[in-house]
Structure formats: structure tokens, C-alpha cells
Amino acid sequence: MLSPGQKAPDFMLFSSDKQEVSLQNYRGKNVVLLFFPMAFTSVCTAELCEMRDSISTYAGLNTDILAVSVDSPFTLAKFREEQNLPFPLLSDFNKEASTAYDSIYETFVFNLKGVSKRSAFVIDRDGVVQYAEVLDNAGEVPNFQAIQETLTKLK
């Protein structure tokens, strides 16, 4: 598992807007990188809506939010639109980023293979992991308070 102090693995994924997004594009800003299992599920919706509702807090901490799942860009676009999410949803359909961040279930519900684990990483403006939380239980959400405390220390 990635630990604080390690360099965050870069990735190139397609967003719900069908644009290529790389972690490199966010150098100079802090990033909260979230992995979530599946769009349109109750806990994932609650998690991302919590981030949406706190967007001004994160903006005040010079932080962008990126959320990643193995859903297709088309599914993520519909989910983003329905939930009015003001940050990119990134498709890790090929499971490369989820694997690089040790955030992937071998087998998830309904015997689905290769679904992203719910995870949260704070990556500083230099691309270094400052906080890492990978949850085995998909029914739990990341510790938003710990994430915000980590970002406050980076300010």
C-alpha cells in the first residue's frame, strides 16, 4: 500500500467529459484522489455528494478533487450530471490506476472482478502522498476530517 512520503503514481485516464486527465496536470495544487467502487450506488453517492457539499472548504485549501472508478466515461458522465458534481470523475476502466494505488478488489459483490476499493489519498503540490486510506469495507467512507486536517497542515 502507498504510504505518506511516497511519490504518487501518475496516471492518464479519461474523464466524464471525455478528456484525458493526468495527475501531472495538477502539480502546484494539492489533490484529494478518491477511488470509489461504482457509480449510482448509495455509499458512493453519499461520499461524492459530501465532497460536493464541501467543495468551498477544499478550494480554500488550494485543493482539487479527482474521483476514480472502473465505470465507463459514459456512466460517469450521467452520474456526475445527476449528482451535480463539480469535479472530474475519471474512468479507470482498464484498472491501471486502481492497481497502482493498491485500491482494487479482486472480487466484489455479485462476483464482479477488479472493482476499485473505496480509498482516499491526499497528494501535495509536489506529487507526494501525504495521506492514504484504503478501506476493505465498501460500506464505509473515508475519514473526511483527517483528510481536511492533512490539507490544513499543507497550507
Is 44 a catalytic site residue?
Answer: yes
Q: Give the angle subtended at the CA of 80 by the CAs of 28 and 85, to the nearest 5°.
A: 55
Domain membership flag for residue 38: yes
* pLDDT score of 111: 85
Model pLDDT, residue 35: 98
What is the span of the domain harbouring residue 80?
A: 12-154
At CA 34, angle to CA 52 and CA 72, rounded to 5? 90
The per-residue DSSP string of 52-117 comes to HHTHHHHHHTTEEEEEEESS-HHHHHHHHHHHT--S-EEE-TT-HHHHHTT-EEEE-GGG-EEEEP
Domain presence at residue 2: no
Q: How far apart are CA 80 and CA 118, in angstroms?
A: 17
- In the chain, the number of structural domains is 1
Q: Write down the catalytic residue from 23, 44, 51, 66.
A: 44
Let me know if residue 5 belongs to a domain: no
In a domain, 145, yes or no: yes
The CATH number that applies at residue 100 is 3.40.30.10
Q: Is residue 55 part of a domain?
A: yes
Residue 53, pLDDT score? 97
Please give the chain's pLDDT, 155 residues, in tens: 899 999 999 999 999 999 999 999 999 999 999 999 999 999 999 999 999 999 999 999 999 999 999 999 999 999 999 999 999 999 999 999 999 999 999 888 888 889 999 999 999 999 999 999 999 999 999 999 999 999 999 97
In a domain, 39, yes or no: yes
